[in-house]
Amino acid sequence: MSAVHPVDHAHDHDHHDHRPYGLMRWVTTTNHKDIGTLYLWFSFSMFITGGLLAFGIRAELFQPGMQLWKPELFNQFTTMHGLIMVFGAIMPAFVGFANWQVPMMIGAPDMAFARMNNWSFWLLPVAAILLVTSFFVPGGATGAGWTLYAPLSVQQGIGMDFAIFAIHIMGASSIMGSINIITTILNMRAPGMTMMKMPMFVWTWLITAYLLIAVMPVLAGAVTMLLTDRHFDTHFFNAAGGGDPVLYQHVFWFFGHPEVYIMILPAFGIVSQVIPAFARKPLFGYSSMVYATSSIAILSFIVWAHHMFTTGMPAAGQLFFMYATMLIAVPTGVKVFNWVATMWKGSMTFETPMLFAVGFLFVFTMGGFTGLILAITPVDIQLQDTYYVVAHFHYVLVAGSLFAIFAGIYFWLPKWTGHMYDEKLGKLHFWLSLIFFNLTFFVMHFLGLAGMPRRIPDYSQQFADFNMVASIGAFGFGLSQLVFLYAVIKCIKGGEKAPAKPWEGADTLEWTLPSPPPYHSFETPPVVK
């Protein structure tokens, strides 16, 4: 593709760089790879924290009756599990991928704003401290659910204020990170890399970053109004003053629905890199993938009220939001079709990244179908706030986003560390995750259809068996992640030396760099033909 000798350049620069060592290297770094690593480890630590909360939830629900926690604490667990997994685990993981991969995939030396990049990351631990501290203040953490609906969130204690400011800070981090990613993609591509030659992962992140800049400020507005209603006597969400609690839901979901796509579009991007590499065929229908991703992003702004069918809305509104929601199935269908068509007649092998990508395809698509079912207004009115909804969004967030994150980690670990990961461990991790995931969440469909409400610490006797299955699955899923942790650490410590391009079918720019890549990716921009 290009005549670059990055090793020599890296060698030159070793004499010039005066980098702090030890902890201070990580605190002060302006390097996209260091920052990407920080994001990924932060995400993993939040994944463990949120996972422990999930253990707490599933332990209480292991059998009917009140066993372990008071109902208020149970509510805090569900709320904080949601907030931590969404804002602490999934989103930072994808930003970590963007940091590592975007500059390498477009042939840039680093991110456009390298110093601000550091700040985007180092705001996250501040937000995490706020969230975790809130468990230990009078009244505990907020228990209003991760959506923080008024009026419950207006009435809660000091823990709610911690959550509000944590959201403000995470929002600032996301906006800065997104401005950085968009600017990098728009302004720092190697000569010859036109927009329509960019790898799909880069495209999906461009669109994701746009969504983030558009909706994170709206969330900031929503929680600001919550704060003034709580402390400054405004009446935004209080009917006595002419306000409306439903207004909060509108503003929140105007953020919340694009947020759903913020958490899945980069996953689509990763899968779109992995499947062609292991099918040894170029991605089928590249341009239609780009258009489908853009359509999903645009449609995501006009479907928010499908989260609110039961809160009261004119029939015309219900119809509009129902049809608009179902319309999203079209571009999503295009994507699934293209992934399958990419594999058609390919010379496929099933290393761990491909296993996770194919697993993603099966299980995420199921989450997509249950989403279509929930889009149907009369059905949704029956299923609102049941375990069917819990099953649906865990199919898209765990089997969708998280499986894609795993696929991406195994796919790029050889590039990042310079070592091959242990294929046996990777496969073990995949199969354990897939089985325990379905054990946990598949049964929740039945529970929901039978009417078991979500966010309640106790349930009727008839739900007992499926809940026990789900709890066993959840513990199994959580423990399986130790295999993942071990596989990653083992790969970082050593292992078979990875060549520059360990995957035969991979063809993006990062594979032209040695493994591990030099500290500054492309000092001389490669020329893309």
Partner 1 sequence: MSTTTNTDGYYIPQPSYYPIIGSAALFCLAFGAVFLMNDIAAGPYVLCAGFAILIYFLFVWFGKVIGESESGQYSPQVDLSFRWGMSWFIFSEVMFFAAFFGTLFYMRMLSVPGLGADATGEYLWPAFTPGWPTVGPGIDEKLEVMSAWGLPAINTLLLLSSGVTVTWAHWALKANNRGQLILSMILTIALGIIFLTLQAVEYHHAYTELGLNLSMGAYGATFFMLTGFHGLHVTIGTIMLIVILFRCIAGHFKPEHHFAFEAVSWYWHFVDVVWLLLFVLVYWL
Enumerate residues 178-197 that contact partner 1 by CB under 8 A.
178-180, 182-183, 186-188
Among the candidate windows 78-86, 105-113, 440-448, 451-459, which touches partner 1 by CB under 8 A? 105-113
Give the whole-angstrom CA distance, residue 149 versus residue 397: 21
Site for partner 1 contains 11 (CB under 8 A): no
Nearer to partner 1, 168 or 281 (CB): 168
Nearer to partner 1, 215 or 420 (CB): 215
Backbone phi and psi for residue 419, each to the nearest 5 degrees, phi listed first? -125, 150
Give the whole-angstrom CA distance, residue 527 versus residue 163: 47
Say which residue the tokens 């006597």 belong to. Answer: 233
Nearer to partner 1, 78 or 118 (CB): 118
Site for partner 1 contains 8 (CB under 8 A): no
> Binder to partner 1 among 257, 307, 392, 520 (CB under 8 A)?
520
Nearer to partner 1, 95 or 225 (CB): 225
Site for partner 1 contains 16 (CB under 8 A): yes
Site for partner 1 contains 486 (CB under 8 A): no
DSSP characters over 290-352:
HHHHHHHHHHGGG-GGGG-GGG---HHHHHHHHHHHHHTHHHHHHHHHHHHHHHTT------H
Size, binding site for partner 1 by CB under 8 A: 81
Q: 153-172: which residues touch partner 1 (CB under 8 A)?
A: 158, 161-162, 165-166, 168-169, 172
The closest of 323, 430, 414, 297 to 377, measured between CA atoms, is: 323
CB atoms within 10 A of CB 18: 5
The closest of 434, 86, 412 to 263, measured between CA atoms, is: 86
Least distance (Å) from partner 1 to the CB of residue 301? 11
Among the candidate windows 56-64, 107-115, 386-394, 461-469, which touches partner 1 by CB under 8 A? 107-115
Q: 242-301: which residues touch partner 1 (CB under 8 A)?
A: 242-244, 246-247, 250-251, 254
- Three-state SS string over 24-79 comes to HHHHHCCCHHHHHHHHHHHHHHHHHHHHHHHHHHHHHCCCCCCCCCCHHHHHHHHH
> Binder to partner 1 among 11, 14, 27, 67 (CB under 8 A)?
27
Where does residue 315 rank: exposed (0-12), middle (13-18), buried (19+ CB within 10 A)?
exposed
Backbone phi and psi for residue 512, each to the nearest 5 degrees, phi listed first? -85, -10
Site for partner 1 contains 236 (CB under 8 A): yes
> Binder to partner 1 among 64, 109, 451, 514 (CB under 8 A)?
109
Among the candidate windows 143-151, 232-240, 340-348, 420-428, which touches partner 1 by CB under 8 A? 232-240
Give the whole-angstrom CA distance, residue 356 versus residue 276: 14
Site for partner 1 contains 228 (CB under 8 A): yes
Nearer to partner 1, 20 or 333 (CB): 20
Site for partner 1 contains 523 (CB under 8 A): yes
**Are 405 and 93 within 8 A, CB to CB?**
yes
Q: 427-466: which residues touch partner 1 (CB under 8 A)?
A: none
**Are 470 and 441 within 8 A, CB to CB?**
yes
Where does residue 495 rank: exposed (0-12), middle (13-18), buried (19+ CB within 10 A)?
middle
Among the candidate windows 74-82, 176-184, 370-378, 415-423, which touches partner 1 by CB under 8 A? 176-184
> Binder to partner 1 among 5, 231, 424, 497 (CB under 8 A)?
231
Site for partner 1 contains 28 (CB under 8 A): yes
**Are 459 and 64 within 8 A, CB to CB?**
yes
Residues with a known catalytic role: 81, 110, 146, 173-174, 257, 259, 261, 272, 306-307, 332, 335, 454
Site for partner 1 contains 104 (CB under 8 A): no
Where does residue 416 rank: exposed (0-12), middle (13-18), buried (19+ CB within 10 A)?
buried
Our separate counts of H helices and E strands in the chain read 20, 0
> Binder to partner 1 among 272, 505, 522, 526 (CB under 8 A)?
522
Least distance (Å) from partner 1 to the CB of residue 184? 8
Least distance (Å) from partner 1 to the CB of residue 42? 13
Among the candidate windows 13-21, 330-338, 351-359, 398-406, which touches partner 1 by CB under 8 A? 13-21
Where does residue 322 rank: exposed (0-12), middle (13-18), buried (19+ CB within 10 A)?
buried
3-state secondary structure of 467: helix
Least distance (Å) from partner 1 to the CB of residue 311? 13
Nearer to partner 1, 186 or 319 (CB): 186
Least distance (Å) from partner 1 to the CB of residue 405? 25
3-state secondary structure of 507: coil
Q: 203-222: which residues touch partner 1 (CB under 8 A)?
A: 213-218, 220-222
Give the whole-angstrom CA distance, residue 342 versus residue 200: 13
Least distance (Å) from partner 1 to the CB of residue 147? 16
Site for partner 1 contains 13 (CB under 8 A): yes
Amino acid found at 286: Y
Q: 112-141: which residues touch partner 1 (CB under 8 A)?
A: 112-116, 118-119, 122-123, 125-126, 129-130
Site for partner 1 contains 225 (CB under 8 A): yes
Say which residue the tokens 């994808």 belong to. Answer: 94
Least distance (Å) from partner 1 to the CB of residue 346? 37
Among the candidate windows 16-24, 59-67, 324-332, 394-402, which touches partner 1 by CB under 8 A? 16-24
| CA atoms within a 13 Å half-sphere pointing along the CA-CB vector of 61 | 34
Report the sign of the C-alpha dihedral through residues 93, 94, 97, 98, in that order: negative
3-state secondary structure of 386: strand
Q: 399-418: which residues touch partner 1 (CB under 8 A)?
A: none
Distances (CA, A) of 62 to 25, 223, 470: 45, 34, 8
